Amino acid sequence: MNAPGKFPPMLARAAVWAAFAVLCACGQAPGPGTDTSAAGGFRELTIASNPAGTHVFTVAGGLARVLQEDLGVRATIRPFSGSSVYLPMLHRGEIALGLNTGIDSYVAYRGLPPYENAMPNLRLLGMMFPLRIMYMVRADSGLRSIEDLRGQRVAVTFRANAALEQLHRGILATGGLTVDDVESMTVAGLPEAMRMLTEGRADAVPTGMNTALSLQVDSTLPGGIRYLTMGQDEARLSETMPGVRIVTVLPDETTPGVEGPTRVSWVPDYLNTGIHMSDDEAYRIIRTIHESWEELRSTYVQMSTTTAEAVAPADNLHPYHPGAVRYFREAGLWTEAHEANQARVLGE
């Protein structure tokens, strides 16, 4: 368990910038067409993110910093309760940039549940970092694997991140469970879920590992937290969740709640925009981020496992922006596999 108030140094530094950036954004909520100006170049860039305390918010702060410093424009974070709230704004061109999971990007682009209508204007700039998502419990609960959640109070539906419900159901399925086998709970978002676990009103909540919120819960609970390990039937997750992998997390000093080899889901988190952004603007944004990648990796622990080459995946399930394609071609990262995948997702 971490001592109260103690955070890994890189996470603490990142949180300082993120807090500063969002303070700059207060009162500056832009409307349609106010993020960029085609005539005069960038006027302002707003990056939509999840709430403070999440990996998404912290990484958004890092991106805002490099874009502001290198492009010389005002770059701010605009936190929302969850990405399900701001994905439609990206689709409509009301906000310039947003960080979204591969799951949310895919189902929104295709118009799959929980979205009623497709959002075909969404476009990918690059993969920023992976989220390792797993159910978290109190360390003194006696719960260790997904199978142990039968009959427990389990957060499944997040209203602010509605698409993640499919991931949560898929994780439960690896343990042979459905929502009928647990006391399924609906919460507004991750902060509420964390409070319910801390207050003893929930037995298990799904979360990204090593977020500021999870570290806070670990420091608050007597005995700390534990992450469950995936159930015995891991194939159930890959069958239902395209683009999601299962990886093994080993114990280390910076990750509380991991007592031994722990199998968790691996979900890409993308930087998205819309077709409303010009090719030149999209090109400059991803070029700036990619050329600053080693600095970002060394400063933001969430990005440390993503190599510069991994910023341009070839297995994404929604299309790249043409400006990003242009840059990745120039950088030598665009391959025949990328070309085939781009044609496939645009043609479906």
Across 58-78, average pLDDT = 95
* pLDDT above 50 for 4: no
How many whole angstroms from its chain centre is CA 30?
23
DSSP letters for 273-310: EETTS-HHHHHHHHHHHHHTHHHHHHH-GGGTT--TGG
Q: Per-residue pLDDT tens for 245-274?
A: 999 999 998 899 999 999 999 999 999 999
User: Which positions ≥6 away from 260 have C-beta within 8 Å?
Assistant: 251
| pLDDT confidence of residue 26 | 36
pLDDT given for residue 37 in this prediction: 41
| 9-130+269-347 fold | D-Maltodextrin-Binding Protein; domain 2 (3.40.190)
Chain segment 158-185, per-residue pLDDT in tens: 998 888 999 999 999 999 999 999 999 9
The span from the CA of 324 to the CA of 290, in Å, is 11
Which superfamily does CATH assign the domain made up of 132-267 to? Periplasmic binding protein-like II (3.40.190.10)
Average pLDDT, the chain: 88
Ordered by start, the domain boundaries in the chain are 9-130+269-347, 132-267
Q: And the tokens for 69?
A: 């410093």
Kindly report the length of the chain. 348
- d(CA 89, CA 108) in angstroms, rounded, equals 12
pLDDT at residue 32 is higher than 80: no
Instruction: Give φ, ψ of 156 to 5 degrees.
Output: -120, -45
pLDDT cut 70: percent of the chain above it: 88
- The Cα–Cα gap between 321 and 325 comes to 6
- Quote the CA–CA distance of 130 and 134 in Å, as a whole number: 13
Please indicate whether residue 333 or residue 162 has the higher confidence score (pLDDT). 333
pLDDT higher than threshold 60 for residue 64: yes
Which pLDDT belongs to residue 17?
A: 42
> Does residue 232 or residue 5 have the better pLDDT?
232
Residue 22: phi and psi, rounded to 5, are: -75, -30
Global confidence as pTM:
0.83
Q: Do domains 9-130+269-347 and 132-267 have the same CATH topology?
A: yes
Dihedral sign for Cα 198, 12, 266, 275, please: positive
Q: For residue range 12-23, list pLDDT tens digits in order.
A: 444 444 444 443
81 SS3 class: coil
